Amino acid sequence: GAVVSQHPSRVICKSGTSVKIECRSLDFQATTMFWYRQFPKQSLMLMATSNEGSKATYEQGVEKDKFLINHASLTLSTLTVTSAHPEDSSFYICSARDTIGFTGELFFGEGSRLTVL
């Protein structure tokens, strides 16, 4: 099946620094990617929809200036957590849908665990 790769899988940073997480679709093109956040033992919460070549659409309550999303190509979306604080520590997961061979299936990355000290 299609593969979505996330990098890094784990990152630890100091409070106040910025962290960038990459999401790549390895064998398909994705005009739309989704970014989720998951706290321990909780469900996935959609943060934003990333659209290639245009601004991301953020869910209610998600600060767009804090969580910067860039979708510069059909295979890459990035999430930058700016001025990270301990409460931003979470598991961030991206997903993508095959633009051409659309069947409804969303392919998920392996997730990136962010720990802010």
Partner 1 sequence: QQQVKQSPQSLIVQKGGISIINCAYENTAFDYFPWYQQFPGKGPALLIAIRPDVSEKKEGRFTISFNKSAKQFSLHIMDSQPGDSATYFCAATQLQGAQKLVFGQGTRLTINP
Does residue 11 belong to the site contacting partner 1 (CB under 8 A)? Answer: no
Q: Is the dihedral of CA 41, 42, 44, 45 positive or negative?
A: negative
Site for partner 1 in 49-68 (CB under 8 A): 49, 57
On the 0-12 / 13-18 / 19+ scale of CB atoms within 10 A, 61 is exposed
Around Cβ 88, how many Cβ atoms within 10 Å?
Answer: 19
In the complex, the smallest distance separating the C-beta of residue 7 from partner 1, rounded to whole angstroms, is: 13
User: Minimum Å distance from CB 57 to partner 1?
Assistant: 8
Please choose, out of 11-19, 65-73, 75-83, 104-112, the segment that lies near partner 1 by the rule CB under 8 A. Answer: 104-112
* 34 contributes a contact to partner 1 by CB under 8 A: yes
Q: Which of 7, 20, 22, 46 binds partner 1 (CB under 8 A)?
A: 46
Q: How far is the CB of 20 from partner 1 (least distance, A)?
A: 18
